Amino acid sequence: MRQITVLEAVHQARRTIGDIDARMLLQHVLDMSHAVLIAHSDRELLPEQAQYFVQLAQRRAHGEPVAYLTGKREFYSLDFKVSPAVLIPRPETELLVDLALERSPVDCLLKILDLGTGSGAIALTIAKYRPLASVTAVDASNDAVAIAKSNAKQLGVSNVNIIRSNWFDRLVGERFDLIVSNPPYVAGADPHLAQGDLRFEPSMALTDSGDGLSCLRTIIAAAPAHLETGGTLLVEHGYDQAQTCRLLLEEAGFGAIICRPDLAGIARISGGICMI
C-alpha cells in the first residue's frame, strides 16, 4: 500500500492544527530542518512515522503546546530542551537578554545571577554570549534545575553554576553585578491561565496564585543585598505591572530606573541601578 507523503501529511493535519504547527511537528518526526522538509515534500513517510505524526497532531489539536510535543524551543537563536516542568521560552523574554547583554561589556569578569531560570534560556544565553562572565542560575524546582543543566551541557556552556534555590535562599552573602529574572507574574485570577499554552505550563512558573506581584516584590526588595553598588537589576513583568515595579524599585533604593516595551509595545522589562 502506498504511504502518505510529506505534503499529504501536512495537508491533512493543517485542517485541524494549521500549517505552521503541522510542519513543525513533521520536522520533529522526520528530524528534518524546514528547508529539507520543503525539498522532500514528495517523500513517503514510514508507517511508524505517519502514526507518530498523527498522534502528535491529535495531541496538538487538544491544546498541548508544540514545544512540549517536540521537546524543544528556539530562543535567541539557540535550541533549548523543554518539558512541562519548565516555562516555554517566549520571544518577549529575548528583550530581557538584549538589555542584560547591553549592560555586560564582553571583556569584563562580571558576576551575573538569573532567578527562576526554568529551562535556563536567559542564563545560558547570557553565559554563551559573555564567556568571561560567571553566571549563577537558580530555580526552586529540581526538575527545572535538571533541564537547565542538560541545556548547559548541550549548548557547551561551562561558565554557569545551576543550583536549586528559592530565590536568594542559597545565596547568602553573595553579591552580583547584574541580576535578571522572569518570575511568575500572572495574577491567580487572570483568565489567560486557563487558555492556550499556559494551561500546560507549570503553574509555579506562571503565577503566585495571588495578585501576580508577590515574587516581583520579594525579588526587588531583596536584590540590593545581593548587588554591588552600581549593579543592575532587570525583571520581566506583566502588561499592567510597570508602574508598580517602578515604585517597588524606588522603594528598594534603585535609581536610573528604566522600563522597556516588548515588540507588541507592552511595557515588559523594568530595572534600575542599585544606589546603596
Query: Which of residues 78, 185, 248, 271 is near ligand GLN by CB under 6 A?
Result: 185
Shortest distance (Å) from residue 182 CB to ligand GLN = 5
Q: Which of 267, 215, 275, 219 is nearest to 250 (CA)?
A: 275
> Which residue stretch of 3-11, 129-137, 159-167, 180-188 sits at the interface with ligand GLN (rule: CB under 6 A)?
180-188
Which residues does the annotation place in the binding site for S-adenosyl-L-methionine? Answer: 116-120, 139, 167, 182
Query: Which of residues 141, 182, 232, 270 is near ligand GLN by CB under 6 A?
Result: 182
Q: How many CA atoms lie within 13 A of 128 on its CB side?
A: 20
Site for ligand GLN in 203-232 (CB under 6 A): 206
| Residue number with CB closer to ligand GLN (50 or 206) | 206
- What is the β-pairing status of strands 254-261 and 78-81? unpaired
Which residues does the annotation place in the binding site? Answer: 116-120, 139, 167, 182-185
Query: Which of residues 14, 40, 90, 103 is near ligand GLN by CB under 6 A?
Result: 90
Query: Which of residues 112, 115, 147, 186 is near ligand GLN by CB under 6 A?
Result: 186
Q: Cα 239–243–249 angle (5° rounding)?
A: 115
Cβ distance 239 to 246 under 8 Å? no
Cβ distance 164 to 85 under 8 Å? no
Q: Which of 223, 230, 235 is nearest to 274 (CA)?
A: 230
Q: Does 112 bind ligand GLN (CB under 6 A)?
A: no
Cβ distance 155 to 124 under 8 Å? yes
| Residue number with CB closer to ligand GLN (184 or 224) | 184
Give dist(CA 83, CA 69) in Å, integer: 9
Residues that bind ligand GLN (CB under 6 A): 87, 90, 182-186, 198, 206
